[in-house]
Structure 1
Amino acid sequence: MNGVDEGLASEAGYFVVGFDRDAEPQATIRVVGADGEASHVAQIAPGNFDIQRINGLANNQVNPSGAALLARIRAEAGRKAQGFASRADLDGFKSGFIPPLEKYRVSGRFGGQRVLNGEPRTPHYGADLAAPTGATVRAPASGLVAFAETGLHFEGGLTMIDHGQGLISVYLHQSRVDVRRGEMVTQGQVIGAVGKEGRATGPHLCWRMKWHGRNLDPTLMVGVKTPA
């Protein structure tokens, strides 16, 4: 693992650990409790990432300019940073995740190198799930809404859910956001609707996930539950 992260398990003893796209091939997980400590060396399998070329984007979505727009983007980035900084004392991840959409087509895999209007950019840290505008978006697991806004320049309608232990899932380009910051949601609860707002060429949900600032592939969490 690049660097060292420390944290407390939930009251029930649950915790989660995440590895990002470019993690080292080996990491040591160390658990310390009242009865002693234990460690485990995790082997991290390398990912298989593609190149995603997206054309037809408005220039201000690729190379934004102008004092007013740049100030707006900076302000939005500050508010999003506050959402990602949420650290709710929860373990909403313990029952596993379900997909946020009932029906969808994967139009972009996590980690692919992005080329926007012919310009190479940073990798895409999300899974793009194509679905019709207005399709219902549901919370894949329970948690606390850490961010909920519409009309953001790059993301359009954006929701973040804090599932506990620094694990935050993110939902971009929504045409409608049905929850508010500070609200508790349960698995399967409606949180919004698919759209094509912000930097998008068609209706889809960009599903992202972070753990202590590290970008994770959210699709890997589907069906995974904590040990009995």
Structure 2
Amino acid sequence: MRRLRVMARAIARLRALAGVGTLGALAVCGGADAQDRASLLPATSAVPPPASVGPARSAANSLMLNGFTLAGELTQGGWLRGSVPRGTRALTLDGQPLAFSPDGRFLAAFDRDAGASAVLSATLADGRQVSAPLAIAPRAWQIEHVAVGKRPGAAPSAEFERRRPLELAQINTARAMDTGAQGWTQDFIWPVRGRISGRFGSQRIYRGEPGAYHSGLDIAPGGGVPFVAPADGVVILAAQAPFTLEGNLLMIDHGMGLNSAFLHSARLLVKQGDVVRQGQVLGLVGMTGRATGPHLHWSIKWKDRRLDPLLFVAGGGAR
């Protein structure tokens, strides 16, 4: 709720300055700079436009635009929760079908490299279409330019080549599961507190050639420290033996296509199929798999989009 109150106050300031309504992708701790703000573009609809066009502040924690109720972090790696206009029978994001609950709530999210805009579109029972164009704020990622080329890695071992396809198949099967979990509706909490040793989206450029970006958030509280569920969910994968890269891998489905993965655990305390509650201990921080020290690598995906865990928790926010 603190994020939403801060967002609402920032929206009011921005509207006063710019003369238009905006939905900010704002940090909980004091807001965000201009580069990290996201706005709602002028609203359009296919036929005919509603009587009131443009966002209006309806409560301390949301904005309304053409019948949509919207709140979230409209930025690369961010997310959006909302409710559809009354009478909606179909919903799309950029032309792709988007699920919504029987009471009209939905979740959408934006990849690390998402473009500058997206469009929500609802088809109403009478055939009308109502749209909400969104502006997705760019992020200033932590980029390191290296003056040398990429070093070729060691050739994968025969054991790795044998095991890795089986591990990836388990991960893909888990991500395809729909458990009906409702954690996606909650405000997430930190799974563990500690030093941030790696940020989502950080990347090295080797003489102009991009390396893979970091797909999660690394938290280093020390080995053996318990970590907890950031939101309600269902365990969709609990490695029975350490994976080659991820080590003791745990995956939690939060519903609506949103899932968390926790890597390198020393020990897992839940099993596949378990229903877990926010704050429940899931395992112990470790350094199994490919890790140089004990830490929790926490990644979040919505469908095939990688998201920034910092944008889901208090004290995070676009950076």
Q: TM-score, normalised by structure 1?
A: 0.84
**Shift, 1:8, TM fit:** 2.1
1:138 maps to 228
Partner of 2:10: none
Shift of 1:221: 1.1
Q: CA RMSD, aligned part only? A: 2.7
Counterpart of 2:296 in 1: which secondary structure?
Answer: strand
Counterpart CA distance in 1 for 2:198 and 2:238 is: 24
Bigger mean CA offset, 81-90 vs 209-218 = 81-90
Alpha-carbon distance, 1:4 to partner: 4.4
Distance 1:12 1:113 in 2: 40
Per-residue CA deviation, residues 151-192 of structure 1 (Å, 9 max, x unaligned), is 111011111111111001111111111111111111001111
Residues 42-65 of structure 1: CA deviation (Å, up to 9, x unaligned) = 111111211469xxxxx9xx5452
* TM alignment of 1:1-228, pairs within 5 A: 4-32=95-123, 34=125, 38-51=130-143, 63=154, 65-101=156-192, 103-114=193-204, 121-149=211-239, 150-223=241-314
| Structure 2: gaps of 5 or more residues | 1-75, 77-92, 146-150
Q: Which has the higher contact order (CA 8 A, sep 6+)?
A: 1
Q: 1:192 & 1:204 partners in 2: Cα distance? A: 12
Q: Cα gap change, 1:28/1:3 in structure 2, threshold over 3 Å: closer, same or farther? A: closer
Structure 1 residues 5 and 178 mapped into 2: Cα distance closer, same or farther (>3 Å)?
Answer: farther
Q: Structure 2 length as normaliser, TM-score?
A: 0.61
Residues in 2 aligned to 1:112 and 1:191: alpha-carbon distance in whole angstroms: 27
| Distance change in 2, residues 1:17/1:203 (3 Å) | same
Cα distance in 2 for residues equivalent to 1:169 and 1:158: 11
The DSSP-based 3-state class of the residue aligned with 1:17 is: strand
Deviation at 1:67, TM superposition (A): 2.5
Choose 25-34 or 128-137, whichever is displaced more: 25-34
* Alignment check: 8 A CA contact 1:84 1:213 kept: no
Are the counterparts in 2 of residues 98 and 140 from structure 1 also a CA contact under 8 Å?
A: yes
Cα separation, 2, equivalents of 1:27 and 1:168: 22
Determine the C-alpha separation between the residues in 2 that align with 1:171 and 1:161: 9
Change (3 A) 1:137 1:29: same
- Between the aligned partners of 1:42 and 1:173, the Cα distance in structure 2 is 37
Residue 3 of structure 1, CA deviation:
6.2
Deviations 1:18-38 (A, max 9, x none): 100100011001234558653
Amino-acid identity (%): 40
1:71 deviates by 1.2
Query: What CA distance in whole angstroms lies between the structure 1 residues aligned with 2:266 and 2:144?
Result: 24
Q: Is the 8 A contact 1:92 1:142 kept in 2?
A: yes
Contact 1:20/1:216, CA 8 A, preserved across alignment: yes
Structure number, greater radius of gyration: 2
* CA shift for structure 1 position 141: 0.3
CA shift in 2, pair 1:32/1:223, >3 Å: farther
Secondary structure at 2:279 match in 1: coil
The one-character-per-residue Cα deviations of 1:87-136 (angstroms, maximum 9, x if unpaired) are: 222321212100100x21111110011589xx963111101111111111
Q: Is the 8 A contact 2:184 2:256 kept in 1?
A: no
Residues 81 and 204 of structure 1, relative CA distance in 2, 3 Å threshold: same
Deviating above 6 A after TM superposition, structure 1's stretches of 4 or more consecutive aligned residues are none
Counterpart residue type for residue 19 of structure 1: F
Determine the C-alpha separation between the residues in 1 that align with 2:181 and 2:124: 19
Question: Which range moves more in the overlay, 62-71 or 1-10?
Answer: 1-10
